Amino acid sequence: MIKIRVNGKPVAIHDEDKTLLDVIKEIGINIPALCYHPGLPARGSCRLCVVEITKPSWNGRSKIVTSCLYPCEDGLEVLTHSPKVIKLRKVIIKLLLARCSDSKELQELALQYNADVSRFGTKENEKCILCGLCTRACEEMGIEAISMVNRGWKKEVAPPYYEPPENCIGCGACAEVCPVGAIELTETNGIRRIWNREFEIQKCVECGKYFATVAQLEHLHNKYGIPLKDLKTCPECSKKRVGTVLKKTFFD
């Protein structure tokens, strides 16, 4: 068992794989963590989850670390809202806001941390904070249709060669996990558009309802060998099909 203190309060941790952020969230302390998603590996890119840590043996010295990556070590004293942390978090919010001035999420944070006036110039029309949640989601899906491209101020998320990504299945997980709603996904008349590519949406062969992209179904077929014809009914109609078989089982 690991024992740490968070803002002076002792906390006992049984699962050694937990990060400081896991523990902080668990005990109900709210700190911003835009690039963190419980289902994806942490990467520490937004830097908002910074906390101050120290140990009695450090002779009064402390460190600033990203809590989403830092493991729980016995004897750690963690400060989530110390003056140093607040000051730093404020700068990070200002920087992010300078990049994405229209982001509601960032504006809310700015309000919360009193970081409204940005002394940095603003960038036009930028929504992405480069946190990499989308690329991680795509990677975990085993698809890797998008990635970070370029370096420095030219860095951005894009499919290879900025072309409509061939291996993308249009599942929309990237848009779903994006903390600032920067990825556009639209659906009209049986076509889903994302990453500049159009995906045909499968019409349920029974009821005609659109329910998943054809590419998603092909992915399921290719990867798991599920027969394509079994994938062409929407959940409701699949259920009806099972119902029909059961009806025969019991009543015929």
Q: Which residues bind other proteins (CB under 8 A)?
A: 37-40, 137, 140-142, 171-173, 176-177, 211-212, 216-217, 219-220, 223-224, 226, 230-231, 233-251
Q: Which of 6, 23, 68, 115 binds ligand FES (CB under 6 A)?
A: 68
- Please give the residues from 123 up to 162 whose contact with ligand FES meets the rule CB under 6 A: none
Q: Does 34 bind ligand FES (CB under 6 A)?
A: yes
Whole-angstrom distance, CA of residue 203 vs CA of residue 212: 8
CB 26, min distance to other proteins, A: 12
The one segment of 29-37, 147-155, 205-213, 240-248 that binds ligand FES by CB under 6 A: 29-37
CB 249, min distance to other proteins, A: 5
Whole-angstrom distance, CA of residue 208 vs CA of residue 215: 18
* Residue 240 site contact among ligand FES, other proteins, none (CB < 5 to 8 Å, cut-off depends on kind): other proteins
Q: Which residue's CB is nearer to other proteins, number 94 or number 219?
A: 219
Q: Which residue's CB is nearer to other proteins, number 17 or number 124?
A: 17
Q: Convert the chain into a string of H (helix), E (strand) and C (coil).
A: CEEEEECCEEEEECCCCCEHHHHHHHCCCCCCCCCCCCCCCCCCCCCCCEEEEECHHHCCCCEEEECCCCECCCCCEEECCCHHHHHHHHHHHHHHHHHCCCCHHHHHHHHHCCCCCCCCCCCCCCCCCCCCHHHHHHHHCCCCCCEEECCHHHCEEECHHHCCCCCCCCCCHHHHHCCCCCCCCEEECCEEEECCEEEEEEECCCCCCEEEEHHHHHHHHHHHCCCHHHHCCCHHHHHHHHHHHHHHHHHC
Q: Which residue's CB is nearer to other proteins, number 90 or number 221?
A: 221
Q: Does 66 bind ligand FES (CB under 6 A)?
A: yes
Torsion of CA 122, 127, 130, 133, to 10 degrees: 160
Q: Which residue's CB is nearer to other proteins, number 93 or number 201?
A: 201
* Residue 161 site contact among other proteins, ligand FES, none (CB < 5 to 8 Å, cut-off depends on kind): none
Size of the site for ligand FES (CB under 6 A): 12
Q: Which residue's CB is nearer to other proteins, number 66 or number 216?
A: 216
The one segment of 40-48, 193-201, 216-224, 231-239 that binds ligand FES by CB under 6 A: 40-48
- Give the residues lining the site for ligand FES (CB under 6 A): 33-36, 44-49, 66, 68
